[in-house]
Amino acid sequence: MNARSVGAWFRREDYPAIKALSPTEYNLPDTFDEWNEIATSQVAEMESNGMLVEKVIINPQEFALWCKTRNVKPDGPSRARFAIEKDSAQQKGTA
């Protein structure tokens, strides 16, 4: 069985809102295309090493609310945690 990884994934139309939420110390690339090129490359590398990568779409409004209720910054580590929790809920059929 392949190792499995969960990654936060953005839609083009949501990228400006996601970027606006992110603290400056966790700079995302300026454009969706730049981010997508980097993220797609990282996923391809992981998959070439036998890892199964589950892309979890991050809705900016849902993520902002999640951060607010947990009193956490909407940064990279929080996006990762949110994606893992969302994936877990989807796997259980509760999302």
Q: pLDDT tens-digit profile of 13-58? A: 999 999 999 887 677 999 999 999 999 999 999 999 999 999 999 9
> pTM, whole model, 2 decimals?
0.86
- What is the rounded distance in angstroms from the CA atom of residue 91 to the CA atom of residue 53? 14
Task: Write out pLDDT tens, residues 52-61.
Answer: 999 999 999 9
Give the C-alpha separation, 33 to 47, whole Å: 21
Q: What span, in angstroms and rounded, lies between the C-alpha atoms of 84 and 3? A: 15
Q: Give the pLDDT of residue 48.
A: 94
| Contact by Cβ (8 Å): 6, 56 | yes
Cα 92 to Cα 83: distance, rounded to the nearest angstrom = 14
Six token digits for residue 71:
């009193």
